[in-house]
Amino acid sequence: MVERKSIIWNINRSCIYDCAICCTDAYHISSKNNQINVRIDGLTKMLSFDRDKSINLFDDANKHLQEKGLELILEDKLRILENIDIPVKIDFSGGDPLLLSENLHVLFKSSEKFGKENISVTATGVGFSLVDSTFLAQTLGHIDFTYDHSVRSKTNYRPDSYNSNNLRVIKKLSKLGVGTTAQTPLSLDNIDSSIIEDIFYDLKDAHVEEIYLMKIFSVGRGSNIDLKQPTREQYLKAVEKFKELESKYCGPKIIVQSILNETNSSGITHKEKYCISNSLNITNLGLLLLSPWAYDGFGNPKTPFIAGDLKNRKLSELYDENSYTNLLERLIFEQYDKK
């Protein structure tokens, strides 16, 4: 069996939500009085454009962002797909990749090239609701979404409608026969036993197959706030509670991000400090990164992680099998510890 490299492709940065912990600092899209408003740079800067109501709001915003060089045009996205010349599994993420109609063409071509079982999408309820469910079933092997707080309680890190919209749409999509995974970053906001139970029961009732327990990484917009991490003991207790519920109800299946098992007493790992990951990342502008977590507070990729530009070169040329072996040493001695 061919070993496939895992890639998270942040194919665009447009999103309808302005989550405080967005790891890529997605562009927040809204409209008012026949204008499109786009907040960028950690939500500190506003771009405004005249609204063309003949097309989808997000396609309209994307057109203007492409003109400013803040998003790639479709031809560049297809060129990147051509340059992925080794066996891979691709998770399309963002922003929200399903907000843009042109991304559906890239999804279709990716599914044709690598097989639907190797293509997944991580999106929001809004994005999923814009796309025909038949297309999703025929094109994707897996659907991922974030659900990190019960609809019956509030979180400091998400807009109020974020989790509820995700859950509402996933209840419908879980009937498609496509695998579904809820990504649940653990924080001090959601590790109490009662909240864990609410999250689990919500996802169980929605017939979600898997719950992927993750850390919240202090990267992207999350690096601009005081993001207090749970301790190792708190993480382990939360994981134990989820697994207890899995055993009691025979699912959803609990999957634990490997880095959770490596946390020290403060909840931070050496690997996390330097954003080491087993997945590659493609930025919204086509750069190949050695980690999907290597973004600063304004969504810019951190220089030591940039392997090259996939618009111009083949993945096989850019990918060095020793990259991960040498990356940590490079970061420690060349950049981060000199600051």
> What DSSP string runs through 72-123?
--HHHHHHHHHH--S-EEEEEESS-GGG-HHHHHHHHHHHHHH-GGGEEEE-
The full DSSP string for 243-281 is HHHHHHHT-SEEEE-GGGGG--TTS--HHHHTT--SSEE
pLDDT number for residue 330: 52
Domain-embedded: residue 258: yes
Domain-embedded: residue 327: no
> How far is the C-alpha of 290 from the C-alpha of 279, rounded, in Å?
7
157 band by pLDDT with thresholds 50, 70 and 90: confident
279 band by pLDDT with thresholds 50, 70 and 90: confident
Q: What is the mean pLDDT of residues 50-57?
A: 95
pLDDT number for residue 270: 46
Q: Write out pLDDT tens, residues 96-106.
A: 999 999 999 99
Reference 236, options 186, 201, 272, 182; nearest CA is 186
Domain-embedded: residue 220: yes
Domain-embedded: residue 293: no
Q: Write out pLDDT tens, residues 227-259.
A: 778 888 999 999 999 999 999 999 999 999 877
Q: How crowded is residue 217: how many other Cβ atoms within 10 Å of its Cβ?
A: 22
62 band by pLDDT with thresholds 50, 70 and 90: very high
Q: What is the mean pLDDT of residues 318-339?
A: 52
Domain-embedded: residue 300: no
Q: Are strands 35-40 and 27-32 parallel, antiparallel or unpaired?
A: antiparallel
Kindly report which listed range (183-197, 254-268, 299-313) carries the lowest average pLDDT score: 254-268
Domain-embedded: residue 299: no
Tokens of 168: 């509402």
pLDDT number for residue 215: 86
Domain-embedded: residue 219: yes
Q: Write out pLDDT tens, residues 120-144.
A: 999 999 999 999 999 999 999 999 9
Where residue 131 sits, what CATH number does that domain have? 3.20.20.70
Contact present, 14 and 66 (Cβ < 8 Å): no
Kindly report which listed range (53-57, 179-183, 245-249, 263-267) carries the lowest average pLDDT score: 263-267
pLDDT number for residue 151: 80
Domain-embedded: residue 333: no
Per-residue pLDDT for 334 more than 60? no
CA 81 to chain centre: 19
Residue 150: give the domain boundaries.
5-273
pLDDT number for residue 320: 67
pLDDT number for residue 223: 85
Cis ω for the linkage preceding 115 (within 30 of 0): no
pLDDT number for residue 103: 98
Core vs surface per residue 249-269: b (16+ CB within 10 A) or e? eebbebbbbebbeebeeebbb
Contact present, 92 and 143 (Cβ < 8 Å): no
Per-residue pLDDT for 163 more than 50? yes
Per-residue pLDDT for 266 more than 60? no
Helix or strand run (H / E) with residue 232 = helix 232-249
Helix or strand run (H / E) with residue 174 = none
Reference 169, options 207, 196, 195; nearest CA is 207
At 220, phi and psi to the nearest 5?
A: 55, -140
Count the domains in the chain: 1
Q: What is the mean pLDDT of residues 139-164?
A: 90
Q: Mean pLDDT across the chain, nearest whole number?
A: 89
52 band by pLDDT with thresholds 50, 70 and 90: very high
> How far is the C-alpha of 269 from the C-alpha of 261, rounded, in Å?
9
Q: What is the mean pLDDT of residues 302-318?
A: 91
Per-residue pLDDT for 327 more than 60? no
